[in-house]
């Protein structure tokens, strides 16, 4: 028994404060990464002299692709406008089975995701048989690590 003044530890209050701080840090990290990805795509140099003509509503429009190893060049802006972020409670499962849509009882994983639902992002990031990769997600994440880690201090 404690005599005199003591400290009362309330796990629920402490955990909710920690959860709030972590959610803020993860959300800031996601927003920072999303912004940096969009800036990288907008500032991609057009190093290829080659351009491709594609049809757009009856008139020819030229696409200037980015060089392999550089972020994808912005053409119609659909890809860059589809870039978004999401914070979720979840449980990291086996590869391909991650469920970040709902909380799992007893688990406190907080997951931040940045990306797009467009399938062509996968092709650009990793390349195809006929196209060299134009990575932007992984390279931007690596460059942003010091800033992201700063959000957690």
- Average pLDDT of the segment spanning 39-52: 76
Q: Give the SS3 label for residue 16.
A: helix
How many other CB atoms sit within 10 Å of the CB of residue 126? 13
Of 23-32, 34-43, 81-90, the one with minimum mean pLDDT is 81-90
Cα dist. 74→36, 80, 136 in Å? 14, 7, 12
Tell me how many degrees the CA angle 117-101-152 measures, rounded to the nearest 5: 90
Mean pLDDT (the chain) is 78
**Between 137 and 109, whose confidence is greater?**
137
**Residue recorded with tokens 């980015």:** 66
pTM: 0.74
pLDDT category at 38 given cuts 50, 70, 90 is: very high
Average the pLDDT over 61-87 and give the result. Answer: 83
Q: How many CA atoms lie within 13 A of 108 on its CB side?
A: 7
Summarize pLDDT for 98-126 with one digit per residue, the tens.
444 455 555 557 888 898 888 889 999 99
């Amino acid at each position: 028994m404690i005599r005199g003044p003591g400290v009362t530890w309330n796990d629920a209050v402490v955990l909710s404060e920690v959860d709030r701080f972590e959610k803020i840090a993860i959300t800031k990290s996601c927003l920072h990464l999303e912004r940096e990805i969009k800036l990288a795509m907008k500032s991609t140099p057009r190093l290829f002299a080659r351009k491709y003509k594609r049809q757009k509503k009856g008139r020819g429009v030229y696409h200037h692709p980015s060089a392999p190893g550089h972020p994808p060049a912005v053409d119609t802006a659909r890809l860059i406008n589809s870039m978004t972020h999401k914070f979720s409670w979840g449980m990291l499962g086996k590869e391909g089975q991650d469920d970040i849509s709902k909380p799992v009882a007893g688990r406190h994983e907080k997951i931040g995701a940045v990306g797009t639902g467009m399938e062509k992002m996968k092709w650009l990031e990793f390349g195809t048989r006929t196209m060299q990769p134009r990575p932007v997600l992984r390279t931007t994440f690596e460059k942003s690590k010091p800033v992201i880690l700063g959000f957690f201090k």
